[in-house]
Amino acid sequence: MSEVIKKEEMLIFVISEMLKGMRHVAVGASSPIPGGAALLARANSSTDFRVSMLGSEEHNTFTNGGTELFDCAAQGRIDAFFLGGGQIDGSANINLVGIGDYPDTKVRFPGSFGSAYLYYLVPRVILFREEHTPRALVPKVDFISAPGTSPDNVNRPGGPYALVTERCVFRFDKKKARFRLESIHPGHSLEEIIEMTGFEFDEPSTIRETKPPSSDTLKLIRGKIADEISETYPAFSSKIFGS
Amino acid sequence: MTKHFEKVETLVSNIPDSSKIALAPDYSGCPMEAIRALIKRGATGLHIIGVPSVGFQGDMLIGAGCVETIETAAVTIGEHGLAPRFTSAIKNGTINIIDGTCPAIHAGLQAAQKGIPFMPVRGILGSDLSKHRHDWIEASNPFSENEEPLIFVKAITPDITLIHVPLADSDGNVWVGVRREMMVMAHASKKTLVTYDKLFDGNLLSEESMAPGTIPSLYVDGLALAENGAWPVGLFGNYPPDENHLKIYLDMAKTEEGFKEYINEYVFEPKAAE
């Protein structure tokens, strides 16, 4: 087996580490890497660990149609979820709608999906945006699909926990409504991250390197996880794992 | 009484232009054969509602000029990237978009299902979505001692729910299994039109294992058999998406000319589903 770790394998591992101890992780639309991470965390868990993956028939036990995920989240039955965004800003506001003056956006994204709800209700929302550039990570989003924080009188048990990109991991500080750099993936530098991030963030005094997966974990990702994720994401699976 | 139509074309002739039509996402029940029939007929002015999002069927209807307004939480073709004709239509300003979020669309339909004017929904507050929605209002939780803001979503009553399902019986009952968003859609809509893959031998409601996943004929106005009718999107529990064909679509639909060629080849002169 090649020990050269692909970016996608690294990201699956990084996100799965944030899911330790969760009881129920849900995965939304167009999320092969978070989906892989949830399945990996389940495979490594010694306690009950449920994954509910949108679009999957094998990894989804909902029987009440499209509303059940949302009802479940509102009752506190989902511990972790993933959101992305065409733009994400330094206050963790996310934009899944478009760039420019809404509704006359000059670049249109698919839409907000359930973000304007799940971001408020799921305790650990992991933001995932593979592209780490100033156009993706901006000072201020053009459209707020869902805000990073809310006033105290808003019922909001949930919110952003971390932001994972192809270059690093940021953790979100709810009180300051700001990101703090947590670790840098192997092969990347602080200088590069500052240059490629459109928003300001806090830096720790010593900067950690993101831990890569062990060879056993890599084997698991390339075997069982690749196989499980291919049901919902065949194109991703065949591109990354060649299965 | 549920009417059985010989042809999908005749079924969709019950959908007037400018109707408000509820549609399911790609992983649920997509009536692709009926969508092709609507395009072939030259339907116009449709207001389509994604419950809570739409995929290929929405993109095709938009590309063919059938859609005036789209109300949805997203237009998504999953792993394949951006929906080409939707993206282009927004850029050119040729359709109206009413951006929502999944649970608000479900809640609006549930309000209609219950015959009540609105439904309170968590979240949404402070999002730019609500700034543009005149059918959502910010109110206060009447049961809370402290001031607690809450979004109220107006009931959504589609004129028509148009879906494809695996099974229907001769009495007009249709089986959706666990894809119960289609049941809510049918309950909320003024009319429901259904295409189905196979005729069930017997009555779905008299089979204890099938009845819970069955929309009774009470809500079903018209039916037509369409074998493989969700092609190329695929049908839950029955057949997967035809990835090769979807790639052909996406490749051709990159441009308006290419999309026209696509519908000429696969809608107007179908060699489809061979």
- The tens digit of pLDDT for each residue in B167-220 reads 999 999 999 999 999 999 999 999 999 999 999 999 999 999 999 999 999 999
For residue B84, the chain A residues in CB contact (below 8 A) are none
Tell me the residues of chain A between 7 and 36 that have a Cβ less than 8 Å away from chain B: 29-30, 32
Task: Tell whether A236 is within 8 A of chain B (Cβ).
Answer: yes
Which residue of B lies nearest to A94 if distances are taken between CA atoms? B127
Between CA B121 and CA B119 the distance in angstroms is 6
pLDDT at A163 (0 to 100): 98
B53, B182, B183: residue with CB nearest A113: B53
pLDDT at B269 (0 to 100): 82
Which residue of A lies nearest to B82 if distances are taken between CA atoms? A110
Q: List helix spans (H) across B123-219.
A: 128-131, 181-188
pLDDT at A57 (0 to 100): 86
Which residue of A lies nearest to B106 if distances are taken between CA atoms? A67
- All domains in chain B, ordered by first residue: 3-101+156-268 (3.40.1080.10), 118-154 (no CATH)
Tell whether the model's pLDDT for residue B157 goes beyond 60. Answer: yes
A104, A147, A155: residue with CB nearest B93: A104
Q: Which residue has the tokens 């927004």?
A: B90
Q: What are phi and psi of B260, to 5 degrees?
A: -60, -40
B27, B72, B178: residue with CB nearest A55: B27
Amino acid at B247: K
Question: With an 8 Å Cβ cutoff, are B104 and A116 in contact?
Answer: yes
The reply to whether omega before B232 is within 30° of 0 (cis) is yes
pLDDT at A1 (0 to 100): 52
B27, B72, B122: residue with CB nearest A111: B72
Task: Tell whether A86 is within 8 A of chain B (Cβ).
Answer: no
Question: With an 8 Å Cβ cutoff, are B74 and A112 in contact?
Answer: yes
The reply to whether omega before A103 is within 30° of 0 (cis) is yes
Category of B60 on φ-ψ map: left (φ > 0), alpha (ψ -120 to 50) or beta? alpha
Partner residues linked to B121 by β-bridges: B151
> Tens place of pLDDT for every residue, chain A, 243 residues?
567 999 999 999 999 999 999 999 999 988 999 999 999 999 999 999 999 999 898 999 899 999 999 999 999 999 999 999 999 999 999 999 999 999 989 999 999 999 999 999 999 999 999 999 999 999 999 999 999 999 999 999 999 999 999 999 999 999 999 999 999 999 999 999 999 999 999 999 998 999 999 999 999 999 999 999 999 998 899 999 985
For residue B153, the chain A residues in CB contact (below 8 A) are none
Question: With an 8 Å Cβ cutoff, are A109 and B27 in contact?
Answer: no
Asked whether this complex has an ipTM greater than 0.85, the answer is yes
Quote the minimal CA–CA distance from A110 to chain B in Å. 5
Question: With an 8 Å Cβ cutoff, are B243 and A235 in contact?
Answer: yes
Tell whether the model's pLDDT for residue B1 goes beyond 90. Answer: no
What Rg, from alpha-carbon coordinates, does chain B have? 19
Tell me the residues of chain A between 52 and 81 that have a Cβ less than 8 Å away from chain B: 54-55, 57, 62-67, 70, 74
Task: State the fold for domain A84-205.
Answer: Glutaconate Coenzyme A-transferase (3.40.1080)
B271 band by pLDDT with thresholds 50, 70 and 90: low
Quote the minimal CA–CA distance from A74 to chain B in Å. 8
Question: Is 0.90 surpassed by the pTM of this model?
Answer: yes
B274 band by pLDDT with thresholds 50, 70 and 90: very low
Q: Extract the tokens encoding A122.
A: 């799921």
Between CA B24 and CA A198 the distance in angstroms is 37
Question: With an 8 Å Cβ cutoff, are A121 and B110 in contact?
Answer: no
Quote the minimal CA–CA distance from B177 to chain A in Å. 8
| Strand arrangement of the beta sheet that strand B136-140 belongs to | B118-121, B149-154, B136-140
Q: Locate the domains of chain A by residue range.
A: 1-82+213-243, 84-205
Task: Tell whether A153 is within 8 A of chain B (Cβ).
Answer: yes
Q: Which residue has the tokens 């809509």?
A: B189
Question: With an 8 Å Cβ cutoff, are A117 and B110 in contact?
Answer: no
A106, A111, A234: residue with CB nearest B99: A111
For residue B132, the chain A residues in CB contact (below 8 A) are 102-103
Task: Tell whether A93 is within 8 A of chain B (Cβ).
Answer: no
A65, A97, A121: residue with CB nearest B181: A65
